[in-house]
Structures are given as C-alpha cells and as structure tokens.
C-alpha cells in the first residue's frame, strides 16, 4: 500500500524486454532495500529482485505491461518512486495500491499564476470513478480532481509538485498510469456497477 507522495525521482538505467515481460533497472538513492519489498514505479507496484547501494532491479509481467505505460519507458527517463507505506506513517495523500487501472494521457497544460492546470483524458471505463474533489493517482502521484467532463478531468499542479515530479517537464500527449480511488471501486462493486476491467463500449 502506498500514499501517492513521491519519495524521489529515479532514472531508468536499463530495460531488458523479453517475451514474458521486461526487467528494469533503476538508479536512485532509496537504499537500504530488502529483497522482495514493493516499490511503486510511476505508480506501478514492482517487487525488488536485486539491488546494490545505487540501484535496484524489478520485473514486470505481460499483464503489468498491458495495464501500464512501463513499456514506453526508455533508458535515461526519470520515474516517480515510492516505497510501501509503513504502519504508523502519516497518510498525507490517499490510499494507493500500486495496481494501475489503465493508461491515460495529458492533453493540455494551462498556466494559472504559479500553478499549472493539467487536463487528462482517461479510458471511458474509468470515467465513472472520477468525482470533483475526489482522489486519483497519476503516475503514482496523489492528486485531487478539480473538474470532470466526460472522459476528461483537471487537476491543479502546485509549484512543489512541479519541482519534485516529472509533471513539470511532461509534454502534451504523454501517457500516464492511472489508479482510481479504491473506495470508488468498492462502492461500484457493491452497487453492481461495471468495474474498471469492464470492456470499452
């Protein structure tokens, strides 16, 4: 479980693509690690399989690749990193599982003073889980939804977020990992509504 508060940015050092998925090596300063621990990479929960003081390695299955933007990453790209929440830690963002629901895209950036209003397009099946003032994780970052219009939503990116994440350098059209609020998913399930894995239509 994560909070959506990014600890630091890492850099993709190597990506090895295989028939059954991919292996990724990330340079960062999160050491010390433990084998088998979970680290969210752009909001995707990955398991540490090896490490040293300057980097760690993890695998992503075909299912993970299908649901995320990890396969679009290239060596040298920067990514958001967050270690799993420890019991007793402050929950400053919202409850994030690291199980990405789908891939969306940034469609517009509008400066508003020191802030940026960022607009994102989501798959149609995820739109019912968006609500004004609700929470969403975008590339693992906990954000508050401002407005929702169909399959689009806006957020306000404050200077700190722009400085400490890759959002400050993200271009229009960039793909992003999306995880909708887990509470919204449970409510939809209890009401018998189609889930996030429902086919588009």
Distance CA 31, CA 155 (A): 32
Contacts of 53 (CB under 8 A, 6+ apart): 31
* pLDDT for the residue 100: 96
CATH code, residues 102-190: 2.40.30.20
Which part of the chain has CATH 2.40.30.20?
8-83, 102-190
Is the backbone peptide bond immediately before 32 cis, with ω within 30 degrees of 0?
A: yes
Class of domain 8-83: mainly beta
CB 33 within 8 Å of CB 49: no
Query: Which residue ranges in the chain fall short of pLDDT 50?
Result: none
CA–CA gap between residue 196 and residue 193 (Å, rounded) = 10
Q: What is the 8-class DSSP label of residue 170?
A: P
Q: How far is CA 188 from CA 129, 180, 184, 185, in A?
A: 8, 12, 6, 5
Give the pLDDT of residue 201. 54
Question: Comparing C-alpha atoms, which of 132, 116, 127 is closest to residue 196?
Answer: 127
| Residue 41 structure tokens | 């990479």
CA 35-40-18 angle, to 5 degrees, is 75
Which residues 6+ apart lie within 8 Å of 116 measured at CB?
109, 110, 156, 157, 162, 167
* pLDDT at 199 (0 to 100): 65
Where is 159: in which H helix or E strand?
helix 159-164
Q: Report the predicted TM-score, pTM, of the whole model to 2 decimal places.
A: 0.91
Contact present, 164 and 119 (Cβ < 8 Å)? no
């Amino acid at each position: 479980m994560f909070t959506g508060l990014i600890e630091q940015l890492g850099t993709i050092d190597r990506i090895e693509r295989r028939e059954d998925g991919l292996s990724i090596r990330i340079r960062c300063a999160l050491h010390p690690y433990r084998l088998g621990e979970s680290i969210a990479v752009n909001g995707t929960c990955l398991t540490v399989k090896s490490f040293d003081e300057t980097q760690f390695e993890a695998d992503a299955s075909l299912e993970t690749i299908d649901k995320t933007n990890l396969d679009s990453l290239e060596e040298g790209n920067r990514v958001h990193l967050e270690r799993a929440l420890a019991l007793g830690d402050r929950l400053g963002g919202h409850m994030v599982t690291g199980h990405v629901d789908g891939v969306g895209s940034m469609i517009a950036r509008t400066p508003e003073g020191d802030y940026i209003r960022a607009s994102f397009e989501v798959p149609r099946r995820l739109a019912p889980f968006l609500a004004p003032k609700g929470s969403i994780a975008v590339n693992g970052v906990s954000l508050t939804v401002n407005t929702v219009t169909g399959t689009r939503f806006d957020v306000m990116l404050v200077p700190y977020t722009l400085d400490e994440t890759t959002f400050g350098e993200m271009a229009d059209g960039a793909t992003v990992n999306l995880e909708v609020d887990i509470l919204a998913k449970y409510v939809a399930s209890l009401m018998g509504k189609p889930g996030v894995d429902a086919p588009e239509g």
